[in-house]
Chain A
Amino acid sequence: MSEQTGPEQSSPELTSPEQTSPEQTSPGDGGPKGIFSKDLLDACISCGFCLPACPTYAMTGQEQSSPRGRITLMRLLETGDLAPDDATLAEESSLCLGCRACETVCPAGVQYGHLLEEWRDEQWSGLKRPWIVRPLLLIANRKWVLRTLGLVRRSARRRSGAADQPTLMLGCFERGLFPSVSRGIAALDPDLAVDPDQGCCGALHAHNGELEQGRDLARKLGERLPGTIVTTSGGCAAHLADVIGRERVVEASEWLLKQNLDVSERPLRVGLQDSCHLRNGLGVWKEPRELLGRTATYVELPSAGSCCGAAGTYALVRKKESKAILAKKIAEIEAADLDLVIAVNPGCLRQLQTGLRKSQSRTKAVHIVDYLRGHKA
């Protein structure tokens, strides 16, 4: 019989707060490291309400890949009870999609998205950042690159709007990948001002371990574009709103609905993929549905509200998991027999297009702005 078992030896050794340091973890000094905002970390009561909402927990069924488990890891990192180079810390900070579905069900109002940003700020600094995202951050950080991208790929042209009219934010990757989106919204609302010399909002940086820079970029963008800012990307909208204030940020479908966009109806079956940050971060999910419902037969996909696996740079950093999540979406879309599936975010759009193309589906993925442009009455 090995010496540690049997009823007589198994009396509880750790039943009081004084004795709680788990010896399997490397002993730390137990003091706060200042990595996380104390209020944010303290808010979690470990109730586990977030478990069923989390896609990565659904994938593994493992505590450490649930929001609650990740917060436990963060706490242990904060107190030094887990070494900074612990393998699980590294794995979990990148396995998390950052989709913030956990926030919507948390009864204690834990701001998981912020915790994740602080975590990655620590975990992904310098050389520890996944190499694949490094050049992206650099590109987004250079105004001249963005300007050139906009020129080459012909995104919306400069124009000044009426004094109280909002300005269009030109997403940095959208400029390269889907320039028609900014042209589209400019066409849908001719009063929108466009400033081609704007920088990046820094969402990408904030989500990838450059929290301060991410915030700084957002602040600068806020200063450059006065008044209300209209965005065509959920991720950017949520980050920008977080830094410069929700009242200044309007997402495209919110805006168009407010403008009473006049649309025509067509005999199409369309579905929607929510942008996680738009839905979970800004609470915008009814608006795109409302617009689509006016233009065609709207079909709610069973998992429309949960992440498609694009998740910013996730599709690059965690290829395998991203594909697994996408595969389920594509199967769902196929089963729904849609003509179009609509995205409200460039990252999701690209993810869906890739998946649909690979499975040679008849369904096409389209950005909501491009779609509505074709339906303008």
Chain B
Amino acid sequence: MTKIPPAVIADLRALLGERVLTETGALAAYGRDATPLFRHAPDVVVQPLTTEEVAGVMRIATRHRVPVTTRGAGTNLCAATVPLSGGIVLSTTRMTALTEVSRDEMLAVCQPGVTAGALNRAAAAVGLVYVPDPGSKEASTVGGNVATCAGGLRGLKYGVTRQYVLGLEAVLPDGEVIRTGGRLVKDVAGYDLTRLLVGSEGTLAVITEITMALVPNPAAARYGVAYFESMADASEAVRDIVASGPAPATLEFMDAVCIAAVEDFAHLGLRLDAGALLLFGDDGEPDAVDRSVARMAEVCGKRATHIELAESVAAAEDLLAARRCNLPALARSGSMTILEDVTVPRPKLAEMVAFVAATADKHGVRIGTFGHAGDGNLHPTAVVDGDDQAATEAAMAAFDEIFHHAVDLGGTITGEHGVGAAKLPYLEHRLGPEQMALLRRIKGAFDPLGLLNPGKLGS
């Protein structure tokens, strides 16, 4: 492949000085993200500090027709930030200004490179919460959360990032700056471009400022865990819980493979004889939380083999930690982990989990499944020896079937991590050819030269 013209580097240097990286090793480090199997180094990495600088970078890119891949912390799990066509990686990690946290308006305004954890701490300081709660929050950026529409352990009750973005500032490929939405909760003037940009994975514009709604910190939170003989029993319990009252904040599950891996790693005293477990919990006013948790325990009780309520905050933290350490716990048993992210309608959850297990067996791949039972979002995670080409291919073949089956059950190929390059081949199966064509026309309207994150959405 040809490298980008030297004039591009010269122009970028004139704009950003030292914040332009071209050393081979540095570029190689930006050649991958948290997704195994995908790798391609950019020609240059830039670190702008302001919207004006981002606009300057985009003008240079447009003038020279060079692709640009925006990158936050690179924690996405779908190769969304691998610059498949080389060109410029625009890193937002130094755009970390937290401009405003308003208790009165219950919102925050920040640059995209602020980490979700930092925003959450700033919100907590005034008694508020940044709702999207991805497992990666200490590392991932708010810009990345918005661009992938991240979700988390509280999705059932509180939804995902989409529900909280009030307004965005973004730079189009030609360097023009747009502002969508704003600070208003009620504002319906025009197409909802804010929502279009949420989840656009860096393919329509570079997000340079985010106005994010915050919610009050709940007064109390309580958790419990229920063990079941099978995932089918656990899924029925999920259905009954959802049917029995208001949606709880947390309803997570793990299959037997995950329970064993987590227990082996974290020694929390999980019951190894169970076929599945449900971690349930709620937050809000103390008496309401007590009622909600008691209700869930009662519903689970009809099918569960054991139920334990976390009596102390520390025990609750242990339970949440167990759920959060699923990925690394699984990762310990092989040199490569591929974490996937499919969602099915809640009643199909058991069927989907069973399908994953059967498919893993069929292909001889070790796959553990955990996820957000409450919203039908599961994370089948394969652990393979990365040096074993055949094993890697078997895993890919298994996922191929898993994605297709999820869609056939009325589900989707990603619930929160995004499509990226890894799942682009499956997108049409989910959306159909007409919608794919519309997607490409929308992409063309924002980015006629196809410069933003080529090889991803809209390609």
Residues of A within 8 A of B (CB): 1-17, 20-26, 42-43, 45-52, 61-64, 69, 72-73, 76, 81-82, 86-89, 91-92, 105-109
Contacts and interface: CB of A to CB of B under 8 A. Distances in A.
B265 to A, nearest CB: 8
A107 B1 contact: no
A22 B28 contact: yes
Given A2-B66, A13-B85, A22-B40, A47 B26 contact: no
Given A5-B85, A62-B47, A10 B455 contact: yes
Chain B at the A interface: mostly helix, strand, loop or mixed?
Answer: loop
A64 B2 CA distance: 24
B335 interface: yes
Nearest to B47: A61
A26 to B, nearest CB: 7
A35 to B, nearest CB: 15
B85 to A, nearest CB: 4
Interface stretch (B125-133, B156-164, B229-237, B323-331): B323-331
Given A25-B24, A49-B139, A107-B325, A10 B47 contact: no
11 contacts: A6-B449, A9-B85, A20-B37, A23-B41, A25-B25, A43-B331, A43-B332, A45-B331, A61-B113, A72-B28, A108-B331
A92 B75 contact: no
A89 B392 CA distance: 29
A5 B73 contact: no
B151 interface: no
A17 B31 CA distance: 14
B94 interface: yes
Contacts of A42: 335, 386
A22 B66 CA distance: 18
Contacts of A63: 26, 29-30, 45, 74, 91
B107 to A, nearest CB: 24
- Could you say which interface size class chain B belongs to? 35 or more
Contact of A10 (B29, B73, B136, B459): B459
B331 A81 contact: no
B389 interface: yes
B209 interface: no
B361 interface: no
B23 A46 contact: no
Given A14-B82, A92-B25, 7 more contacts: A13-B1, A15-B421, A24-B28, A26-B24, A48-B139, A52-B115, A109-B332
Interface of B: 1-5, 21, 23-34, 36-43, 45, 47, 64-67, 73-75, 79, 82, 84-87, 91, 93-94, 113, 115, 117, 136, 138-140, 324-325, 327-329, 331-332, 335, 337, 386, 389, 392, 421, 424, 449-451, 454-455, 459
Nearest to B30: A63
B43 A45 contact: no
A203 B47 CA distance: 37
Given A5-B65, A10-B67, A16-B37, A24 B27 contact: yes
Contact of B36 (A3, A43, A46): A46
B325 A48 contact: no
Contact of B41 (A5, A22, A62, A105): A22
B349 to A, nearest CB: 26
Contacts of B93: 61-62
A112 B75 CA distance: 19
B16 to A, nearest CB: 13
B459 A82 contact: no
B23 A87 contact: yes
Contact of B455 (A12, A22, A92): A12
Contacts of A50: 139
B138 A52 contact: yes
B425 to A, nearest CB: 8
Contacts of A47: 34, 75, 136, 139, 327-328
A26 B138 CA distance: 34
Contacts of B47: 61-62
A106 B139 CA distance: 12
Contacts of B327: 45, 47, 107
A81 B139 contact: no
Contacts of B3: 24
Nearest to B2: A4
A43 B334 CA distance: 8
Contact of B25 (A12, A15, A73): A73
The 3 closest A-B pairs by CB, nearest first: A88-B25, A7-B450, A107-B328
Nearest to B93: A61
A81 to B, nearest CB: 7
A77 B451 CA distance: 32
Contact of B34 (A21, A45, A105): A45
B33 A5 contact: no
B89 to A, nearest CB: 9
A16 B64 CA distance: 29
A86 B26 CA distance: 10
Contact of A6 (B24, B26, B29, B450): B450
A59 B34 CA distance: 22
Contact of A49 (B32, B38, B42, B136): B136
A1 B65 contact: yes
Nearest to B324: A107
A23 B1 contact: yes
A61 B93 CA distance: 5
Nearest to A11: B455
B34 A46 contact: yes
A12 B84 contact: yes
B112 to A, nearest CB: 13
Given A46-B33, A62-B47, A89-B25, A25 B421 contact: no
A133 B305 CA distance: 63
Contacts of A108: 328, 331-332
B139 A14 contact: no
Nearest to A21: B39
Nearest to B455: A12
